[in-house]
Amino acid sequence: MAFATWFVALFGSYAAAGLLFALPFVVSWVRRIDPMAGEAGWGFRLLILPGAVALWPLLAWRLLRVKRPGGAP
């Protein structure tokens, strides 16, 4: 029983962190990774929201590795 409680708490924490990351990601940060996605409408953004919640560590890593215009990392 303790393992199940621990597992649910861990999963809930992961999902909460993912939601906190995904909301600003789909609103503005997605432009840094894919400029064409930044021009997409809210329907597209709602479609990618669950994936951004689930894959937030990968997207955060990718977002940190994107080179910004002007040569700054």
Residue with tokens 């064409």: 36
Provide the domain count of the chain.
1
d(CA 66, CA 36): 15
Enclosing domain of residue 23: 12-65
7 within domain boundaries: no
Query: Does the residue 72 lie in any domain?
Result: no
Alpha carbon 34 to chain centroid, angstroms? 13
For residues 16 and 22, give the distance between their C-alpha atoms in angstroms, rounded to a whole number: 10
Identify whether 34 is part of a domain: yes
Predicted TM-score (pTM) of the model is 0.80
Band the pLDDT of 48: cuts 50, 70, 90: very high
Question: How much is the pLDDT for 8?
Answer: 94
Assigned domain for 27 exists? yes
| Domain assignment present for 40 | yes
